[in-house]
Amino acid sequence: MDLSVVIVNYQTFELTRNTVNSIFEYEYPFTYEVLVVDNASGDDSLSRLQDYFKDKVKFIASDENNGFAAGNNQALRVANGKYVLLLNSDTVVWQNTLENIYRYMEEHQDVGACGCRVLLENGELDKACKRSFPNVKNSFFRLFHIPTNSKDDNYNLDNLPDDEIYEIDCLTGAFMFIRAKALDEVGFLDETFFMYGEDIDLCYRIKEAGWKIVYYGESKITHLKGASSKKQKNKLIYEFYRAMYIYYKKHHAGDSSFITNFVVYLGISVLCLLKLFLNIFKKKT
């Protein structure tokens, strides 16, 4: 098997169906399988997907929702491909995207993971598809929405072209085309992350192991980001900031001073509480 496509479904029948259909729409010069993990949706989305796709898709039903990372890992444990594509259930794959990236990975054996140009529904770039690793400086500028031309504010790599191919630090978990050999070496997604941050953590470990991570801007997908809800649930807000804490503690706290760590943890806590507070008023509007 050449490629295993892994998709996690959680109460998104139509979105997941459209994502899978966008894969089946084209012919490929390689063999592939599609694995859909239902993360204990609790609705009828799994049964409807099973009825719709029959035996064209391999389904895995989770007994409980332990998060996005845990859901993906269930499929990764049984995936047979020499490459694995982690694909969000709210995406649409464009023609030639999988073929182009598969060919690129075959021709560049030192690349551990590859992403593509990810477009939002309005056609704008989802900036999460090509990033530097977060650090104290670039996270400060981003989290506090401070406009700057500082070279330290390099998180989203806005200075690099969107339609070219080059090495970067970090891909978005919406589309991660990963060499199985690299996963065997560094391990699967860290299930400490419920959602958010697991993609950054995996990219960090892949690069630390000596593999390259590449942004393939010549091919595209569409990401219907936030399609399931326009209003943030408190759980999502909490997990977003919790992921920051986990990532920083795992990869940076050991090399930083007590004062730096205290300021970082305090900043994350304050921002989380502020967002939760503001969300109360958003729900009332």
DSSP string, 138-161: HHHHHHTT-----TT--TT-TTS-
Q: What's the rounded Cα separation, in Å, for the pair 110 and 132?
A: 19
Residue pair 72/8 in contact by the 8 Å Cβ criterion: yes
Query: Does an H or E element contain 113, and which?
Result: strand 111-120
HSE at residue 160, side-chain half, CA atoms within 13 A, is: 22
The CA-based dihedral angle spanning residues 100, 101, 106, 111, taken in that order and rounded to the nearest 10 degrees: 150
**Unique residue bearing structure tokens 């009828």:** 44
Predicted confidence at residue 264, as pLDDT, reads: 86
Strands 32-38 and 3-9, sheet pairing: parallel
Q: What's the rounded Cα separation, in Å, for the pair 237 and 280?
A: 12
Nearest residue to 35 (alpha-carbon basis) of 60, 3, 67, 2: 60
Predicted confidence at residue 228, as pLDDT, reads: 45
Length of the chain: 285
Q: What's the rounded Cα separation, in Å, for the pair 253 and 251?
A: 6
Both ends of the chain: CA-CA distance in Å? 50
Predicted confidence at residue 146, as pLDDT, reads: 62
Q: Provide the 10 A C-beta neighbour count for residue 245.
A: 16
Nearest residue to 167 (alpha-carbon basis) of 218, 221, 113: 113
What are phi and psi for residue 99, nearest 5 degrees? -65, -45
Q: What is the pLDDT of residues 30-77, one digit of tens each?
A: 999 999 999 999 999 999 999 999 999 999 999 999 999 999 999 999
Q: What's the rounded Cα separation, in Å, for the pair 176 and 121?
A: 19
Predicted confidence at residue 156, as pLDDT, reads: 83
HSE at residue 238, side-chain half, CA atoms within 13 A, is: 4
Contacting residues for 42 by C-beta, under 8 A, at least 6 apart: 11
Nearest residue to 5 (alpha-carbon basis) of 174, 177, 130, 172: 177
Q: Provide the 10 A C-beta neighbour count for residue 99.
A: 15
Q: Decide: residue 225, CB within 10 A, 0-12 exposed, 13-18 middle, 19+ buried.
A: middle
Predicted confidence at residue 143, as pLDDT, reads: 63
Residue pair 3/87 in contact by the 8 Å Cβ criterion: no
Per-residue pLDDT of the chain (285 residues; tens, 9 = 90+): 999 999 999 999 999 999 999 999 999 999 999 999 999 999 999 999 999 999 999 999 999 999 999 999 999 999 999 999 999 999 999 999 999 999 999 999 999 999 999 999 999 999 999 999 987 666 666 666 565 565 555 778 888 999 999 999 999 999 999 999 999 999 999 999 998 999 999 999 999 999 999 999 999 999 998 654 444 588 889 989 999 889 889 888 888 899 888 988 888 898 889 889 888 877 555
Indicate the DSSP class of residue 125. Answer: B
Residue pair 123/92 in contact by the 8 Å Cβ criterion: no
